[in-house]
Structure 1
Amino acid sequence: MNAFRALLLGVLAYGVFLVATAPASVAASRVAAATQGQVRLSEVTGTVWRGVTRVDVVSPGLVFTVDEVRWRFLPSRLFTGRLAFAVEARLASLRGRAEAARSPLAWHLRDLDVRGDASAITAILPLASAWQPAGAVAIDAQALSWDGTRATGSATIAWNDAMLALSQARPLGSWRAQATAEAAALEIAVATTKGPLRLSGTGTLPIPGRLAFSGEARAEPGRERELEPLLDLLGPRRADGARALELR
């Protein structure tokens, strides 16, 4: 082997070593810059290929912390043209995992699975602490994609055996929201699967943007008096006795 080839192989090997051992903290400044400071990584350990961090989200009207995020590089996905990582996260009582990937044209999220107690809502929305939400929360999505202008895929959010401190009815019900990507927005449909508090409605969440939702809340026949105080807090009474739910 001549000297030039040996030098070239040495430089290449050193470059591979640097990439393979690059500290995870390298990503912290890039994430902060890419999100204009709205997402910040702290307590970062490991490498860019396998590591752990804490994530702080600071955006207008929304401030919360994901206690722990772990990621692990999936080299086999390179054969499908994707740079992919197995990701696990913990936020209060919620535990989630998914496969996050980047292809030449889009971002992808596969096999999203989140489970936990509804009390974790207060970690994201502190004002909800007065309501003391409880019950089992589940979020599932088989495949979601975003190419910068258009989203594809769907996700399901379920709140089962829901309870709130403002009502003696235990449980209030089980509800399900189906979110389906349509171009640059998510179309959302809410329905009740069981329970005395019947919720339903539809909405649109632009990406990015604010949720616009229109629906109703009503009591199961025979439970009107028991649920009336809570229903009065949810929205104005309509002629048919249901409460209007409007978010703009």
Structure 2
Amino acid sequence: FTMKPRWRGVLIGVLAYLIFMVSNAPAAKVLSWVQPEGVRIAGVDGSLWSGQAALVSVAPVQLESLRWEFRPFALFVGQLGFALEADLLGRPVQADVGSSFLGTPKVSDVRGHIAAADLLRMLGVTQQVGLAGELDFAIDRVEWPEAGAYPALQGAVTWSPARIVAPVQLELGKAELNTWIEDGITRGKVETQGGPLLVEADVELQPGGAYRFDARLQQKGDVPPAVGDFLSSFAEYSNGTYRLEWSDSI
């Protein structure tokens, strides 16, 4: 079967009209119909094509002053796509988000930076561990294994200057984390450079919030006595390398 050019043009015109009508519909009304479970949206204004929301919350992330623009070319790959800009803990972030026609959420190309201490507070880690410095993140892909679960992330994070302030104080220089997704679980590797203690670690975050940190550490310079005491007490030492394992839940 071959569609005649005239009917092909009519079909394209009808589709274009439908897309125009839907994308220019009031965003507040449309979002009230399709708002996903676990997502809180407030202060919505504008249309689906271009609009804004005062607040969007998807635990543990809360975005403020969010603005979006419809991306019509995403339709050619079977998705409804939007480019977002927002404030995360007072810092600018941007991302591409959307949904497949079957309702599967899509989040990619998340870019921004936040303070390391603010990240711990956002994740609810307020005891035992303290961090300082700035985090620059470039997240290529985000997945939610199930409603209410912590997201799985694929991408890279740079922490500089990397400083631990609790349970001990230590300058690490620059740290880089690269992560990937396996069966809804975030797995990754951490490497540091430029500090007196070189760190290579495997990390893991489960959808339920359980995390694991398995590190190998080599001393390349002077470290504070408290750091040496901590490693002697909690890490295994063999052939010039300390091994430290840490697991807990967010």
Change (3 A) 1:138 1:165: same
Change (3 A) 1:46 1:94: same
Does 1:91 pair with 2:93?
A: no
Residue 9 of structure 1 is matched in structure 2 by none
Residue 50 of structure 1 is matched in structure 2 by 50
Measure the CA separation in 2 of the matches of 1:27 and 1:179.
Answer: 32
Does 1:20 pair with 2:12?
A: no
Q: Which amino acid aligns with 1:228?
A: V
Aligned match for 2:118, one of 117, 120, 128: 120
Q: How far off its partner does 1:212 sit?
A: 3.9
Measure the CA separation in 2 of the matches of 1:152 and 1:197.
Answer: 29
Residue 3 of structure 1 is matched in structure 2 by none
Change (3 A) 1:14 1:216: closer
Measure the CA separation in 2 of the matches of 1:186 and 1:27.
Answer: 29
Percentage of identical aligned residues: 22
Change (3 A) 1:39 1:131: same
Measure the CA separation in 1 of the matches of 2:223 and 2:131.
Answer: 21
Residue 41 of structure 1 is matched in structure 2 by 41
Q: Which amino acid aligns with 1:141?
A: I
Over the residues paired in the alignment, what is the CA RMSD in angstroms?
3.9
Measure the CA separation in 2 of the matches of 1:30 and 1:103.
Answer: 13
Q: Which amino acid aligns with 1:22?
A: P
Q: Which amino acid aligns with 2:220?
A: P
Deviations 1:150-196 (A, max 9, x none): x9983112212123445665x43222221112233332222223323
Q: Which amino acid aligns with 1:101?
A: G
Measure the CA separation in 2 of the matches of 1:57 and 1:223.
Answer: 43
Measure the CA separation in 2 of the matches of 1:120 and 1:153.
Answer: 18
Measure the CA separation in 1 of the matches of 2:136 and 2:19.
Answer: 43
Residue 62 of structure 2 is matched in structure 1 by 65
Q: How far off its partner does 1:73 sit?
A: 0.7
Asked if structure 2 preserves the Cα contact closer than 8 Å seen for 1:187 and 1:203, the reply is yes
SS at match of 1:90: strand
Unaligned segments of structure 1, at least 5 residues: 1-12
Residue 8 of structure 1 is matched in structure 2 by none
Does 1:192 pair with 2:189?
A: no
Asked if structure 1 preserves the Cα contact closer than 8 Å seen for 2:45 and 2:52, the reply is yes
SS at match of 1:48: coil
Does 1:222 pair with 2:221?
A: yes
Change (3 A) 1:30 1:17: closer
Asked if structure 1 preserves the Cα contact closer than 8 Å seen for 2:115 and 2:135, the reply is yes
TM-score, structure 1 as length reference: 0.69
Residue 139 of structure 1 is matched in structure 2 by 137
Measure the CA separation in 2 of the matches of 1:104 and 1:69.
Answer: 23
TM-score, structure 2 as length reference: 0.68
SS at match of 1:232: helix
Residue 13 of structure 2 is matched in structure 1 by none
Deviations 1:105-141 (A, max 9, x none): 6543333212233243255146549976432211113
Residue 208 of structure 2 is matched in structure 1 by 209
SS at match of 2:220: coil
Aligned residues: 223
Measure the CA separation in 2 of the matches of 1:165 and 1:202.
Answer: 21
Asked if structure 2 preserves the Cα contact closer than 8 Å seen for 1:178 and 1:189, the reply is yes
Q: Which amino acid aligns with 2:111?
A: D
1:147-166 residue pairs with structure 2 within 5 A?
Answer: 154-166=154-166
Measure the CA separation in 1 of the matches of 2:19 and 2:201.
Answer: 55
Q: Which amino acid aligns with 1:40?
A: R
